[in-house]
Amino acid sequence: MRKTQQQQSDETALMERLEALDSDDREHLLSVVALLVHCYGDPPEASAVLMLKRDEHMAISTFNADDMQAVEMVQKAHEIMGEVLTIDAPPKDMFN
């Protein structure tokens, strides 16, 4: 399949951006890709939701998950983050 000029331009821009990453960022990106690979294959071992916020815009991509599964994963992530943020918080009655 022959690539369009736009596709070639997009790939070049992506490669330049990847090459500009420092080693820590590249290592982190590689670990993210390694996790996402588990969402592929036969049978896939995992599913994922990727959320990207840029200014006031949100983009959501799912990997091996339908809309309902994505909602469940986001809700569970919300619960977990709430627990993480409050794990070292003082008891509620100290604020009364």
Question: What integer pLDDT is reported at residue 87 of this predicted model?
Answer: 84
Q: Which residue has the tokens 């994505």?
A: 70
pLDDT classification of 89: cutoffs 50, 70, 90: confident
Domain ranges of the chain: 1-37, 47-96
Average pLDDT over residues 34-45: 93
Q: What is the pTM of this model?
A: 0.73
Tens of pLDDT, residues 46-66? 999 999 999 999 999 999 999
> Over 90: is that where the pLDDT of 26 sits?
yes
pLDDT classification of 2: cutoffs 50, 70, 90: confident
